[in-house]
Every structure is written in C-alpha cells, then in structure tokens.
Structure 1
Amino acid sequence: MSGSFSLPYTTDLEDSSHQVKPFEPPKKSSFEDTTLRFIIKYKKVVLLIITFVCLSLFTNVPFIPHFKSSTPKIVIILAANEGGGVLKWKSPQEWSVERSSIANKKYYAKQHGYGLTIKDMTIKKRYSHEWRESWEKVDILKQTMRQFPQTEWFWWLDLHTYIMEPQISLEAHFLNNLDNVTYRTLDNFNPLGLPTDIPYVDYSSPIDMIITQDCGGFNLGSFLMRRSQWSEMLLDIWWDPAMYEQMHMQWEHKEQDALETLYTTQPWIRERVAFLPLRTINAFPPGACAEQADDPRYFFKDHDFVVNMAGCEWGRDCWGEMESYKALSRKLHKRWWKFWQ
C-alpha cells in the first residue's frame, strides 16, 4: 500500500545509549531536607522558639515560664533588695555584699539540685503602714510554699550569710539523720530560761521546723521548715494580725519573740520544733554575741557549714566580714594543683 508506514524499532545491535530508560517515580525528600526547608522558610519563628527555650532553661528572666526537669525537694529562700534602698540609698559595699551572697546561694543550689527564690525586699513598703517590716519572713514563707507546691523543705537564709562548705548537701549534713543531730527539749541549753516542760507535748511527733539558739534566744537567720498542715497552721497564727497588734510593742526581736511566745505556751507547736547546735547552720563571727565571746558553741571554726554575720550593720563592717569569709572559703577549698591562685 502506498500510504503505509512502519514504526521505528531498535535492535540489539544499536548503540545502548539510545535505549529508553524505564519510568521511575520521583524520590521522596528526606526528613533532613524537609526540616531544613522548614527552618529556612520560617527562620524568624524558629529563632524565636530557640530564644524562648534558652531563656526558660538557663536564666531567671521574669515573666518567662521556666521549665524544670523535676520539683526540687529543697528550696532556699534568700531575702535581698535588688531594686534599691527602701529607707536610704545603698552604698557600693552593700551592693557588693548582696551580689556575693546571691552568687553563693546560686552556686550551692545548682551544685545540689535545690531550688532558689530571691525575694526582693523593696516589698517591705507594703508593711510600712503598720510598722511590720521585721515580720516579712512569715509572709514570704507563705508565698514561697504557694510558689513551690510540691517542695518538701524550705531553707530561709538572711542576706548576711555565707555557705562555707558548698560541697556538703543538707541531706548529708543533717536532714537524713535528724533524730540524732537535733535536740527537742531545752534541758541542756536554754539561754532565755524558757519553761523546759509544759503539759501535753508529744516529742515523738515528726520534726517540721528546725531552728537554732544563740546567746539571745531563738535565731531565725538560718532555719528550715517542712511543708505540712502543722506548718500552714503555725504560719497563719504567727502572722495573725490580732496577736501582732497586742504584742508588737513588747517584742524587741519581732517575729523571733513571737515564735518564742508560741513555743512557750502552745504544746502543739513545741512538739514539732527541733534545735540544731548554732554552728551547724548558723555560726557567728567574732563580734556577734560579744558578751559570750569565750563560748565556743557560738563562733565560727574552719569547715563550719554556714557563717551568719548577724548584726554586722550595727557597728561592724558587713562588707569586710563578707570578703574575709569569701577569701577563707576559697582558701579552704583550694585544689593543690591550682598553685597560682
């Protein structure tokens, strides 16, 4: 037929480079390629997310939710005045003392996985209308217990304290052996001459508050409180405005005198309070308790756990004492190979 035609065909003798390749579907992009394209496309969003996570994990920036891997068993409460003076401008030495104290507590908390909350004492203004500035410890404890609802122990430290043995945890120091390192009655050490016994006290009750005594009585520069129904009731009564209004003019040491009164008169309070020797968590420098200068129970010795420069603002040099104990701590824990320090 004149109009016929034939289709082209190949033979095995033809060049193999002209062979038709079989159809292959396009390969799917890998996860890495997809992720990379997403990051490039939304780089501003990704950068914002990374910044937020870093702020949450590695800083204490306010107004940013901070993620925690677990609830700390112990939270340290430090009352500072980071915002400036309340009654007067702070001197450079006062700023230095504050920075040193805060850095010391941050380092210790990080070493042992404890929580740390720094309460700005400019809020003391909120109490000034009723002259209740020296009672803020009770209120701050109540706030902190609400802030850390799963934490068991809360350790209050005054600003003029310094942890001299940061390698020692509270558990190893005394918390794991409370019954053997604390004393529950005032038979052997009673500087105020409080009643040594009152009816209906059950000393087999668990310990919910750990304090020390100095030459002037109870000392609240360094003390611990365990979360419990007992603690909540004690804080409520301790903060009770009716009792404060009746007695605040008679109590020279404010909240410490109030606690001493409650301990003296209330069996349910006395039975859950335990005492540590002062030097266990609250050793004094020379100059504090001057009338008892020869009593070794009060004053700091090398390798005591905490030094409390109590009363240094009344005629002593807070900055000089803080710098002295900082230097001593570095010396006591200097590694033998760091000979250049």
Structure 2
Amino acid sequence: MPPRKTSRPPPYAARQNRGGVQIPYQVRSLLRRERLRMIALVILSFLTFLWLIGRIGGESGSTAAAIIGTGPDVVIVTVLDPKADAGWIEKIKKNREDYAKRHGYLTFFPENDRYDLKNSPSSWAKVPAMRHAMTLNPSSAFFWYLESTTLIMEPSLPLTSHVLASSTLEKSMIVNQPVVPPDSVIKTFGNLKGDRIDLIITQDKDGLALSSFVVRNGEWAKYFLDAWFDPIYRSYNFQKADTHALEHIVQWHGTILAKLALVPQNQINAYVTGPANQENGQYRDGDLVANFPGCDKEKRNCADEMKPFFDIADRKARGLD
C-alpha cells in the first residue's frame, strides 16, 4: 500500500508556473517577502510625504516658523498688580515703554491674576508671564524680567551692549561664586562662553535676586521655565517661594547651572534700599536699574519712595540731563 501524501510540501518543493519553469519554494517565499517589503516602503513613503506637507502648511502661519533673532532683540516683561495705584502703574509702564522705544525693544505688562497659580504666592506669576511673552514674541532673542519695584534709570544704555554681548558677558560674569552665599558648595562655572549663556541673573546679600533677570529665547528657556514652574516646587512651601525654588533647582540640576551667569548686581539690579550685595549691589548714579525691594509690602509706598527717581529717569529720557 503506497504511503499517504502529506498536506505540507517539502521545504525545497518546486511549483510549476505557467511557462513550465519550476520555481523552488524558498525563492517563492523570498519573492513574497520582498513584495511585502516594497508595499510597506511605499506606504511609509506616502505617510511621510503627507506628514511633511502638513508640517510645512501648519508652520506657515504658526509661531514654530519664527526664526529667533529676526524680531526685536529684547522684550521687557513686568507683571503688574491690578490692585495697585493706577497712577503709579502708568509711570512704571511709561518708564519701560520710553526705554523700549528708544532701543527698538518691546514691552509686555500682564497682570498677576491672569495666571492660575493654584494658591501659590503671586510672586510666582513672573514665570508663566515670561513663558507667555515668549509665545507672543517667538522671534525675539532675549526676555528681560523687571519687577514692578524697579526703574530703568539710564535710558541711553541698551541692554544688548551693556549686558548681553558675548564679550561683555564673559568679562562681567562672576565665576566660582557660591550660588547661595556665603558658603554654598555649588558654585558658578568658570569656563562658560558668553554665547552659551541662557540665564543672566544677579545675587544680593541673601541669595539670587529675581527682581531683574534675562532669559535667552530657545528650547532651553522653555525647559527651564517649565521646570521652575513645576507644581511640586510651587506646593513645597519654600520660605521665599519662587526665589528659593530657583536656588534649589540651580544647585541640583547641572543642566540649569551650566547655562547660568551671575553678573554684578549693579549691572542690572542695583538696590536703593534692602539687602544689597556688599561689593557691587548698592545703587549709584549711572547704574541701569534702581530697585526698591519690598516697597510694595510692609506698609511702605512704592510711589512715594520712587518719586525722586521717576523725576530723574524722566528727565534723562527727555534728554534734559
């Protein structure tokens, strides 16, 4: 009795095609795989084409198409309290606007109740305000945060050459300095190039001083501001809220410290009153910024304390001094 035929052909079985040529099973399997691979490549190429078309079309009218550096060099950001004296607020805005107009910069004045801070202190509003300003002005290169307790006192000094130029920054940055004075073991780097700095800030007697700082636009800036504004830090109940949160992340995250430059306090943040840096923090005539830290608290009056400085800054803005 002959053996039964199996339903499975032997591995090297050949099949006759229409022309009578025997095609081995292995060859047919290889051809089938190649055909499937070609189909997959065609589909993938088509999907890639559609993605590129959508990306090009989507970016043509979006902020993603903006080229950093093609817009105004600097955007000045000041967060305002809508409950503050209206006359004083107008003077603060005019102080920035006069300076910005003179140098081709822009200004941005959001109110501190515009952002959902989740019951955090209102001082946190500076962080989303900076992020907001970047969204509105994606082609600007630098964003200068100025607290409402500060005044620009030397309207003729452009921030770009006074602080931001790489050569100026390399000469003025303070290296190997404890981030939190006097004895923090974490110190500023000593080998940074000016064009690699993305965060420019000062330090008063107590620590980092956030009344005036500059952030360079870019992906790192977005990462930095988002990290700083993390809900974990806002809910941690730091004694000085956003200030202590920043000191924490600067000391614990090398990716932030590696982009930070400390500059002398009187370069962009000199104190008229308050805990000024003993070496370079006290305001003197000729400094770009005069700061009155805490004048909006402790039963003090910013408008009264600033009045003589408003008059001086206004006279200089009009070219009378």
Please indicate, yes or no, whether the TM-score normalized by the shorter chain is above 0.5: yes
- The answer as to 2:313 corresponding to 1:322 is no
Q: Which residue number in structure 1 is paired with residue 5 of structure 2?
A: none
Equivalent pair of 1:283/1:298 in contact (CA under 8 Å): yes
- The answer as to 2:289 corresponding to 1:303 is no
Secondary structure at 2:113 match in 1 = helix
Instruction: Report Cα offsets for 1:240-269 as digits up to 9, x if no partner.
Output: 113433x2x2x1111111110011111111
Secondary structure at 2:202 match in 1 = strand
- Per-residue deviation at 1:329? 3.2
Tell me how far apart the structure 2 counterparts of residues 196 and 111 of structure 1 sit (CA, whole Å): 39
- The answer as to 2:240 corresponding to 1:259 is no
Secondary structure at 1:261 match in 2 = helix
Q: Which residue number in structure 1 is paired with residue 105 of structure 2?
A: 114
Instruction: Report Cα offsets for 1:7-62 as digits up to 9, x if no partner.
Output: xxxxxxxxxxxxxxxxxxxxxxxxxxxxxxxxxxxxxxxxxxxxxxxxxxxxxxxx
Instruction: Report Cα offsets for 1:296-324 as digits up to 9, x if no partner.
Output: 52211111110011111224331122111
Normalising to structure 1: TM-score of the pair? Answer: 0.66
Equivalent pair of 2:142/2:217 in contact (CA under 8 Å): yes
Which AA in structure 2 matches 1:219?
A
Equivalent pair of 2:234/2:241 in contact (CA under 8 Å): no
Q: Which runs of 5+ in 1 are unaligned?
A: 1-69
Which AA in structure 2 matches 1:171?
T
Tell me how far apart the structure 1 counterparts of residues 103 and 76 of structure 2 sit (CA, whole Å): 11
Equivalent pair of 1:218/1:256 in contact (CA under 8 Å): yes
C-alpha spacing 1:330/1:142, structure 2 compared with 1 (3 Å):
closer
1:143-154 equivalences under 5 Å are 143-154=132-143
- Per-residue deviation at 1:131? 2.8
Q: Which residue number in structure 2 is paired with residue 159 of structure 1?
A: 148
Equivalent pair of 1:163/1:307 in contact (CA under 8 Å): yes
More deviation in 206-215 or 141-150? 141-150
C-alpha spacing 1:239/1:122, structure 2 compared with 1 (3 Å):
closer
Q: Which residue number in structure 2 is paired with residue 180 of structure 1?
A: 171
- Per-residue deviation at 1:235? 1.3
Equivalent pair of 2:154/2:288 in contact (CA under 8 Å): yes
Q: Which residue number in structure 2 is paired with residue 284 of structure 1?
A: 271
Equivalent pair of 1:285/1:299 in contact (CA under 8 Å): yes
- The answer as to 2:91 corresponding to 1:105 is no
Secondary structure at 1:215 match in 2 = coil
Tell me how far apart the structure 2 counterparts of residues 241 and 97 of structure 1 sit (CA, whole Å): 32
Equivalent pair of 1:76/1:155 in contact (CA under 8 Å): yes
- Per-residue deviation at 1:196? 3.5
More deviation in 202-211 or 145-154? 202-211
Secondary structure at 2:79 match in 1 = strand
Tell me how far apart the structure 2 counterparts of residues 273 and 194 of structure 1 sit (CA, whole Å): 16
- Give the paired residue count: 248
Q: Which runs of 5+ in 2 are unaligned?
A: 1-69
Aligned-pair Cα RMSD in Å: 2.6
- Per-residue deviation at 1:149? 1.0
Secondary structure at 2:309 match in 1 = helix
Equivalent pair of 2:175/2:190 in contact (CA under 8 Å): no
Q: Which residue number in structure 2 is paired with residue 135 of structure 1?
A: 124
More deviation in 258-267 or 228-237? 228-237
More deviation in 224-233 or 106-115? 224-233
